[in-house]
Amino acid sequence: MMTGNEYKESLRKIHPRIYYMGEKIDCVVDHPMIKPHVNSAAMTYDLACDPMYENLMTATSHLTGKKVNRFTHIHQSIEDLVNKVKMMRMIAQKTGTCFQRCVGFDAMNATFITTYNMDKKYGTNYHERFKKWMTYVQENDLMIAGAMTDVKGNRSLKPSKQADPDLFTHVVEKREDGVVICGAKAHMTGMANSHEMLILPTTNLLDGDQDYAIACAVPVDAEGITHIFGRQTNDQRRLQGDLDTGNSEYAIVGGETLTVLDHVFVPWDRVFMCGETDFAQDYVARFAAYHRQNYGGCKVGNSDVLIGATSMIAKMNGTRKNSLIKDKLTEMIHLAETMYCCSLACSYEGVKEEAGSYYVNTLLANEVKLNCTRNMYEISRLAHDIAGGFIATLPHEWDLNNPETGKWIEKFFVGNEEYTARDRIKIARLLENMSGGTALAESMHGAGSPQAMKVMILRESNVEQKEQFAMDLAHVKL
């Protein structure tokens, strides 16, 4: 396993084509816009090397028998599913942000099951290919970016009916030695500082969509790939200082990219699905369930930080002992722990698949994320309510550091005299950045929109059985 520094050095050895603000980035490790995301991901490596967190951060590979970073592990038990959630809450408490490795983690676990099932039906050898690649990932402790979401074009049309065929990633050529793919993957969390990407289909596919049923592993710096780093709320503050970002070491969200695939060659031993449209829906559903499981871990860990910041602001404002403030803080805690309960429940209700790995309860995993789309907004609203309006009108940190204006800011932004104005501003900036903009949008749409969860909840909830319960009690026979 790598340490955080070894992970950073490994990124210096690869050369992805990445653009931001119209310019090509030479090295993600040193670039001020991406460096915080690198630091956050590095935490997942350092904690795995810390004996205090070994139980959560590592596991024993069923492929090699060796100890591996949990982010490269295929779940082998209910305990693995539960430890995943606990691990994510713990890391989020330490970073206050997205640490990016869970998307690839979930994509790998979904692919393990799906390749086994495809091989069983069609006699293909996808599963063995995938296990070979997984062994390579584990042995090198690679960070994998899960690449599922396509740009989708006209949402009313299936992939093969789009005006531009590249709006969904697809195979444009099959060769004796592999395939060539075109398209793009959007909202790619952690892509800029990953080693490889695992490409999955993004939607249910029908006859005629065979070219879009593609799953494969590709290095992030493969020929034909261009990454365009996306803007984030308050991103320019990173180029102007530290204080106004609120969390300068680890940023606030996951550093997403638009990843363009322009005639990218993939050898056959890295292709894990090619044309099997009948497995696309199940593939997507399994990935989504694994990924939605996470939100009661990472988002609750972030909520722990936000609740702490809100409590500190109340102390600095002199309102912490007020009964109304205590009630609102209690509500924030209740909302966070409710999400955590759902994540633990979907993990404890997990089942062993025929492939040998463990899979979460789909219904409860979707409940996790649907709760998150609502609860994170309410937690943030309460944080704003308690903090007060000054979090929206604070002066620039350059003015705080200017002797001519800083003295007035230091004088007039004091609340409770036990705390300095500078410290009050630091906590306010952390609260501001964690509770608005990109961070909330990710809580809403990350791992799918709320409607996607509702579709799965209705599909998985067995309403017919509930109808039967009612008819039995009412003595109704149809």
pLDDT tens track for 68-98 = 999 999 999 999 999 999 999 999 999 999 9
**Distance between CA 217 and CA 71 in Å, rounded?**
16
Tens digits of residue pLDDT in 38-49? 999 999 999 999
Q: Which of 186, 184, 189, 185 is nearest to 256 (CA)?
A: 189
Q: What is the mean pLDDT of residues 184-209?
A: 96
For the CA atoms of 90, 91, 97, 100, what is the dihedral angle to 10 degrees?
A: -130
> Considering just the CA atoms, what is the radius of gyration of the chain in Å?
23
Exposed, middle or buried by CB within 10 Å (0-12, 13-18, 19+), for 223? Answer: exposed
Tell which residue, 302, 296, 257, 290, has the closest CA to residue 439: 302
Catalytic residues: 98, 102, 189, 256, 291, 295, 298, 442
- Answer whether residue 240 shows pLDDT above 90: no
Q: Percentages helix, strand, coil for the chain, rounded to the nearest 5?
A: 55, 15, 30
**What is the second-level CATH architecture of the domain 298-474?**
Up-down Bundle (1.20)
Least confident of 133-142, 197-206, 233-242: 233-242
Q: Considering the domain 4-288 in this protein, what is its CATH number? A: 2.40.110.10
pLDDT tens by residue, 411-463: 999 999 999 999 999 999 999 999 987 777 888 888 788 888 899 999 999 99
Cβ-contact 372, 296 below 8 angstroms: yes
> What's the confidence (pLDDT) of residue 443?
83
Instruction: Evaluate if residue 303 carries a pLDDT over 80.
Output: yes
> To 10 degrees, what angle do helices 438-445 and 362-387 make?
160
Distance CA 40, CA 67 (A): 22
How is the beta sheet containing 214-219 ordered, strand by strand? 144-147, 196-199, 214-219, 271-274
Nearest CA-CA partner of 194 in 90, 126, 130, 105? 105
pTM of the model: 0.94
Domain ranges in the chain are 4-288, 298-474
Residue 314 · residue 274 · CB < 8 Å: no
For residue 420, the SS3 value is coil
Q: Helix (H, G, I), strand (E, B), or coil: what is residue 324?
A: helix
Find how far residue 231's CA is from the centre of its chain: 17
189 is in an annotated binding site: yes
